[in-house]
């Protein structure tokens, strides 16, 4: 089969590789769509440390079952499916509590690190265990289904926040996940939503996604946020970047007693504003991946409650994958989500 392989850092190649051999509890999926995630771009240059070449990346995907293992139940050849990016064990204490995103034995598709290697979906076929499969509603196409993974991340974050109806909120970062967070917050009944980013075009899209106000992220951003929120800051904030400056802006954007949900994590460490958090009694909540939100997200896309189509910047055949990784890494194009179709 054809696969897009990270053969070295900043080097992608289309190669002929063997079709995966499935285990008894696995299915073989013909991949129809796979999105390029920001984590794939960070893996492209080796900065994440979790995409050690050679590896087939890709974890935001959908397709059709073409083969089932001997112990697979409830799935058949021809089923249209998507699948969780995380393979969880189902047996550890966290899995038993329903916290599958915190599984002690989790394996992420398309990741190659010191602990394990699991090829992903930038290929014509992928093998995945049956317990992470989800059926696609008829109303959801393959490209839309490839966005269920990031949408589930956004919904999970919104669900974790100690929100109240009509609460005001600042969303720092309007990349793809940030835009989906805005939609999720609107669906959860938040009031005023203020979107913050350095990119004016993405802020325009944030308005379409449900933001009430937008703020360019510059030296005056905090002052503008407070002005838009009555002078003291918003009730809550979501940080969807994971950098030092955006983290501090999110913390300072809420009023005393406010909450900050942390979604982005491109940086391993930040300068922590300890006194501000303690003396203003700010609640911090980390949000990791998703934990069972896939079915709800699929149904909400099918009903039109979430509109993921504006987030898809381009679709391309798998053969153009090396060019698109180069374009995205070197910022030759301003794209939110590029989907490859094997």
Strand bridging mode 234-239 / 169-172? parallel
Q: Using CA atoms, how far apart are residues 158 and 77, in angstroms rounded to an integer?
A: 35
Do residues 20 and 126 touch, judged by C-beta distance below 8 A? Answer: yes
| pLDDT tens column, 154-164 | 999 999 988 77
Q: Using CA atoms, how far apart are residues 155 and 145, in angstroms rounded to an integer?
A: 15
| pTM beyond cutoff 0.85 | yes
The two three-digit tokens of residue 308, written as one number = 């993921």
- Nearby residues of 258 by Cβ (< 8 Å), 6 or more positions away: 233, 234, 235, 236, 237, 280, 282, 283
Give all domains of the chain, ordered by start, each with its CATH number.
2-147+308-341 (3.90.180.10), 154-286 (3.40.50.720)
Which pLDDT value is given to residue 163? 77
| pLDDT tens column, 79-117 | 999 999 999 999 999 999 999 999 999 999 999 888 899
What backbone torsions phi and psi does residue 46 show, to the nearest 5 degrees? 85, 0
The number of beta carbons lying within 10 Å of the beta carbon of residue 96 is: 11
| pLDDT tens column, 14-30 | 999 999 999 999 999 99
Q: Using CA atoms, how far apart are residues 262 and 293, in angstroms rounded to an integer?
A: 18
Kind and range of the H or E element at 324? helix 321-329
Which pLDDT value is given to residue 263? 96
- Nearby residues of 267 by Cβ (< 8 Å), 6 or more positions away: 242, 243, 244
- The sign of the CA dihedral 121, 314, 154, 252 is positive
The secondary structure of 38-82 as a DSSP string is HHHHHHHTTSSSSBPSSB----EEEEEEEEE-TT--S--TT-EEE
Q: What is the largest CA-CA distance in the chain?
A: 63
The average pLDDT across 125-151 equals 98
């Amino acid at each position: 089969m054809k696969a897009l392989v990270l053969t070295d850092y900043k080097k992608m190649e289309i190669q002929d590789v063997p079709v995966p051999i499935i285990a008894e509890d696995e299915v073989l999926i013909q991949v129809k769509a796979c999105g390029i995630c920001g984590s794939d771009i960070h893996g492209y240059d080796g900065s994440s440390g979790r995409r050690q070449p050679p590896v087939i990346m890709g974890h935001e995907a959908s397709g059709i079952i073409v083969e089932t293992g001997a112990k697979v139940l409830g799935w058949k050849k021809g089923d249209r499916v998507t699948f969780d990016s995380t393979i969880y064990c189902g047996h550890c204490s966290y899995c038993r509590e329903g916290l599958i995103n915190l599984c002690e034995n989790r394996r992420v598709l398309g990741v190659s690190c010191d602990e394990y290697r699991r090829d992903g979906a930038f290929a014509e076929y992928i093998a995945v265990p049956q317990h992470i499969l989800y059926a696609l509603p008829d109303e959801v196409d393959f490209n839309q289904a490839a966005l269920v993974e990031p949408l589930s991340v956004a919904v999970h974050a919104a669900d974790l926040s100690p929100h109240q109806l009509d609460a005001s909120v600042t969303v720092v970062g309007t990349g793809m996940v940030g835009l989906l967070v805005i939609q999720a917050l609107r669906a959860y009944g938040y009031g005023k939503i203020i979107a913050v980013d350095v990119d004016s075009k993405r802020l325009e899209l944030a308005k379409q996604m449900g933001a009430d106000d937008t703020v360019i992220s510059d030296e005056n951003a905090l002052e503008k946020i407070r002005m838009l929120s009555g002078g003291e800051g918003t009730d809550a904030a979501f940080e969807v970047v994971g950098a030092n400056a955006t983290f501090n802006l999110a913390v300072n954007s809420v009023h005393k007693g406010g909450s900050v949900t942390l979604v982005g994590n491109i940086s391993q460490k930040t300068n922590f504003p300890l006194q501000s958090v303690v003396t203003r009694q700010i609640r911090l909540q980390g949000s990791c991946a998703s934990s069972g939100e896939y079915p709800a997200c699929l149904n909400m896309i099918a009903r039109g409650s979430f509109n993921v189509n504006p987030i898809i910047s381009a679709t391309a055949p798998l053969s153009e994958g090396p060019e698109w990784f180069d374009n995205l890494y070197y910022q030759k194009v301003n794209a939110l989500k590029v989907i490859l179709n094997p």
